[in-house]
Structure 1
């Protein structure tokens, strides 16, 4: 008879049964290309047979608009939703929307103990980010020059504290290249388990 795991997945026929779930956290300042990369990565992984949930902070917030209590509330729902998806039969959860080390840390804490976590930091030049923000009428305060400028001035230090596994400058790397680099990090993490960061050097 086929061997079944406690969660009901057929351990003999499921090609991902031996691979731990991957939680991919895509973080970065506003208009740095987080959502574009996360969507492309999710589609790429699905085409390769992964079972993926894409959890986006902005989509979570939209559920409560125009009466969103606060962005802190949206972050809490975002984090819990990510954690719940990570405890299903999916093989990968992509969480997009964090912009600080504290937010990334809270997301990491949602990962099951058996999961591997890959943190991706996106960035771009302020000029490109500002142009993107100006062309998107759905954006709020991130369209303001002074606000966005402050975010981008503080981002290098924030990113350093975050200690990402993959750093992607979307002004240099294409979406395809960014997705490829994240996939490579996921594969390396699954092969290396807890020691994979050290081997990546």
Structure 2
């Protein structure tokens, strides 16, 4: 393994308001608690840099993908990324990741009604509080899901936060032990 690139990229994909950010922070925090060197990249944070004048979310996705690629080119142990929800967005991120970096793709699925309820309680949420918008996004994600290759598939509604963390951390450790 090259010493000048990240050893593992954990890419967390899923629909809006499913819990990707919460899961990504938990993974990064747990790995840091274990003494691992970790970078956390969040699409929403990238987009916030230009809000409310962000002309197009495609711009945020492009910058986000480039940022992930740059983080994987430094000698960290793990880069944790969240933000993709389509195969094209995953591919956009992966296009910038150097070959020696192991990629663990995590897909998080969730119930639209429960996600909408979570969004209602989050003061940072915007359009995802609109039930109709969220239903359209989830319908699109359902169509996208078969094309999303994954190493770990997690259901936000039927698993606890610890149950969601365990398989991701096990995969990270498996790759780091190589």
Check whether TM > 0.5.
yes
CA contact (8 A) 1:21 1:116 kept: yes
Equivalent position of 1:23 in the other structure: 9
Tell me how far 1:141 sits from its aligned partner.
1.9
1:46 aligns to 2:32 (yes or no): yes
Equivalent position of 2:144 in the other structure: 158
Following superposition of structure 1 onto structure 2, how do residues 133-172 of structure 1 map, counting pairs within 5 Å? 133-172=119-158
SS at match of 2:83: strand
Work out which structure has the larger RCO, using CA pairs closer than 8 Å and 6 or more positions apart in sequence.
2
Aligned residue pairs, count: 177
Runs of 4 or more above 6 Å deviation: none
Equivalent position of 1:101 in the other structure: 87
Q: Which runs of 5+ in 2 are unaligned?
A: none
Q: TM-score, normalized by length of structure 1?
A: 0.81
Equivalent position of 1:61 in the other structure: 47
Larger Rg: 1
CA contact (8 A) 2:14 2:85 kept: yes
Q: 2:19, 2:156 → 1: CA distance?
A: 6
How large is the RMSD of aligned CA atoms in angstroms? 2.0
Equivalent position of 1:116 in the other structure: 102
Tell me how far 1:185 sits from its aligned partner.
1.9
Relative to 1, partners in 2 of residues 1:127 and 1:47: Cα closer, same or farther, differing over 3 Å? Answer: same
Q: Which runs of 5+ in 1 are unaligned?
A: 8-16, 193-201
CA contact (8 A) 2:3 2:75 kept: no
Relative to 1, partners in 2 of residues 1:103 and 1:144: Cα closer, same or farther, differing over 3 Å? Answer: same
CA contact (8 A) 1:31 1:132 kept: yes
1:71 aligns to 2:92 (yes or no): no
Q: 2:142, 2:106 → 1: CA distance?
A: 14
Q: 2:120, 2:146 → 1: CA distance?
A: 27
